[in-house]
Amino acid sequence: MTRVALMRALLVALLAAWASAGAAEPAKIRVGWAVVPANIGPLMVAKDGLAPHNGKSYTADFIHFAGAPQQLAALGANELDIASLAYSTFALGIENAGMKDLRIIADEFQDGVPGYHTNDFVVRKDSPIKTVEDLKGKILASNQTGSAVDMALRAMAKKGS
């Protein structure tokens, strides 16, 4: 093959690659979330202009879950690309599920940081429950077994007993 023919072949290959890249569909990114505002992602696509590349270079598909443990299962089943995992669920993914390729890409929410709002456990003013000890014998609930909220609730109950 002559040098000119080689250059033409290379030019045709580059033009074909460029044309096919321009016609490609936006990448679909499946993102799990549990609660807003802690998981603010779904709001990013709710108003035009907040995510200017959504629908162009990517398409964000936000999928609601009851908590982080369900998102971990979806990651393991390749049904999610990005999950909003609590510290506890992230550790479970590595230690129990053997997901050695998990990576933290953002620190979206922190609780218990001095000077900032923190999650509270509250009761009505007229409730007979005034201390953690008053919860003994009561039925307590959290959003999902194994979630960070569930673990905090269990730790609080154990510490109070």
Task: Give the pLDDT of the chain (161 residues) as one tens digit per residue.
Answer: 565 554 455 545 545 555 555 557 899 999 999 887 777 888 888 888 888 999 899 999 999 998 899 999 999 999 999 999 988 889 889 999 999 999 988 877 777 788 877 777 788 999 999 888 888 888 888 888 888 888 888 888 888 66
Phi, psi of 115 (to 5 degrees): 90, -5
Domain contains 4: no
Domain ranges, residue 100: 26-160
Domain contains 21: no
Note the pLDDT of residue 6.
47
My answer on whether omega of the bond before 42 falls inside 30° of 0, hence cis, is: no
Note the pLDDT of residue 136.
86
CA atoms within 13 A on the CB side of 12: 6
Nearest to 120 by CA among 153, 89, 154: 153
Q: What's the number of domains the chain is made of?
A: 1
Domain contains 105: yes
The rounded distance, in Å, linking the Cα atoms of 134 and 131 is: 5
Contact by Cβ (8 Å): 45, 52: no
The rounded distance, in Å, linking the Cα atoms of 15 and 1 is: 20
The rounded distance, in Å, linking the Cα atoms of 157 and 17 is: 61
Domain contains 16: no
Domain contains 9: no
The rounded distance, in Å, linking the Cα atoms of 36 and 125 is: 26
Residue type, 47: K
Domain contains 154: yes
Domain contains 37: yes
3-state secondary structure 39-85: CCHHHHCCCCCCCCCECCCEEEEEEECCCHHHHHHHHHCCCCCECCC
* Type and span of the H or E element at 32: strand 27-33
Note the pLDDT of residue 12.
52
Domain contains 122: yes
Note the pLDDT of residue 1.
54
Q: What is the DSSP letter of 25?
A: P
